[in-house]
Structure 1
Amino acid sequence: MADYMIVTIGVQCLTFLLLIVTIPLVVFRLARGIRIYVTILFLTIWLELMLSLVLTQEYQAIGDVTRMWKYKNSLTFFEVKYKCCGVLGPGDYVVMGGSTPNSCYKDSSGKSEDLYTTGCSTISVQPIKLTVTVVVSLICKIIMLIALVIYMIFLNRTGTPMRRWTWLHPAVRRESPS
């Protein structure tokens, strides 16, 4: 789950750095740079939106739990957070010849009446909850994108010459007939 957080934070930082690039482009009225920038900003906002949609979907934890059990890693994280015990239930520890860990009990009490009876393979996991900050961040970036598009329209109406595609890439320029 930490990998998801790292990817999300990385995309957030990338988009924030792109927003900082806006200032010199607007101050120096670099129409060509703004056009390229708007395209890149749109793509990063789209990536961030898709990432937030994917990372907020629930999935069954059976793959994670069985992999951890296979390699004899502790299931303490799942057992404490999701109030479950073992892969299929508390009997897994007995079959493996061990004792039931305290993480399988409510408040680690060790009392038989506090034992969680469901296995951790039956739980659903949501990697990241879609928080208000992500939504607000995304809305701010979309507003910035709309403001840039409006500014570009304003630039074109105030006498800044409209550039043709030939100005964007020298290989596309046509030689004038002599």
Structure 2
Amino acid sequence: MLAVNKSALSLGIGRPVNAPGRNWSLIGFRWLILLFIIACWISAIIDVHHCSVIVYHYSGTPDCDFVKYEACMLAGSLLVSIVLILGFILLLFQNLKTLRTYLTGLLACSWLQLMINMVLTQTYPLVHEVHAKWAKSESLTSYEIKYKCCGALGPDDYLLAYGELPRSCFTAESRTTHTLHSTGCLHVNGKGERFIHLELITPILLLVLIVMMTVFYCYLRRIKAPKRSCQELRADYVFL
């Protein structure tokens, strides 16, 4: 009978659900960060999609200086998405030395992407908005009046698509070449009125993630949590 009981215990039969020794605060904190990493990864993938669309459409168009910024954003977003996957894995193993090195690298990537995105959004603030509206055949009138531009790339956009220019492409009712806005709204150069743009969401989320992971790292050090092996992860159903 004693031998049977020992065998049952070795297989985990009869073991209580709330196993002693589990740090549920640590488990809950880890879950919170893992979910936040997933949110950051989704945001980075959305950035990859938006930037790749801009690069694909305008990479062969001359005088589109904003394309090089979009290409840098695309490369940065791809790098961040890979780094986030790595962070998801490293967080499960809770190796303090590796986490410390990872946090340094994540901070560098996040700061670099934030700087690139800020340069783009403050230098060419209308690129994503104008492209989205023009692709959906929506009106650019408000942009053309406010920023004195015409079409996405220039007046030729309207001439090729509709054969005529709208009134918003002119500074006066006369509609002469002297009053025509020759610059496309994609090329509008200058500081935008908004400081926060959608392109800055991912870098801001990453900075919040760094703070959360730093607190998690300090907590692991305080409780002297041991690093986990693959065998322990399997035994704990990975996430516990």
- What TM-score, normalized by structure 1, do the two folds share? 0.54
Matched letter for residue 80 of structure 1: G
C-alpha contact (below 8 Å) 2:103/2:210 kept by paired residues: yes
Secondary structure at the counterpart of residue 122 of structure 2 = coil
Q: How far is the alpha carbon of 1:2 from its aligned partner?
A: 2.4
* Letter paired with 2:176: L
CA contact (8 A) 1:38 1:145 kept: yes
Tell me if 1:43 matches 2:108.
yes
1:80 corresponds in structure 2 to: 151
Count how many residue pairs are aligned between Structure 1 and Structure 2. Answer: 124
> Given the superposition, is the C-alpha separation of residues 127 and 27 from structure 1 closer, same or farther in structure 2, using an over 3 Å criterion?
farther
> TM-score by structure 2 length?
0.42
Query: Alignment partner for residue 158 of structure 1, among 223, 228, 231?
Result: 223
Residue 106, structure 1, aligned to residue 177, structure 2: no
Letter in 2 for 1:115: T
User: What is the deviation of 1:120?
Assistant: 3.9
Within 5 Å, which residues of 2 pair with 1:1-178? 1-58=66-123, 80-81=151-152, 102=159, 106-107=165-166, 113-116=174-177, 117-118=179-180, 120=182, 125-126=188-189, 132-160=197-225
- Separation (CA, whole Å) in 1 of partners of 2:116 and 2:91: 29
**C-alpha distance in 2 between matches for 1:42 and 1:51:** 14
**What is the Cα-based RMSD across aligned positions, in Å?**
3.8
8 A contact 1:58–1:126 mirrored in 2: yes
Q: Aligned equivalents of 2:82 and 2:196: distance in 1? A: 21
Contact 1:83–1:106 (CA under 8 A) maintained in structure 2: no
User: Structure 1 regions of 5+ residues with no counterpart?
Assistant: 60-77, 86-101, 162-178
Q: Give the Å deviation of 1:132.
A: 4.2
Amino acid at match of 2:108: L
Q: Percent identity?
A: 20
State the one-letter code of the partner of 2:206: K
* Kept after mapping to 1: 8 A contact 2:69/2:120: yes
Quote how far apart the aligned CAs of 1:4 are: 2.0
Q: 1:55 to 1:128 in 2, by over 3 A?
A: farther
Closer/same/farther in 2, CA of residues 119 and 106 from structure 1, 3 Å limit:
closer
How far the C-alpha of 1:131 sits from its partner, in A, is 6.9
1:55 and 1:127 in contact (8 A); partners too: no
Match of 1:57, SS state, is: helix
Return closer, same or farther for 1:132/1:125 CA change in 2, 3 Å cut-off: closer
1:102-160 alpha-carbon deviations (Å, 9 max, x no partner): 5796249xxx9433425647x97239977743232122211211111001100111124
The AA in structure 2 aligned to 1:28 is: F
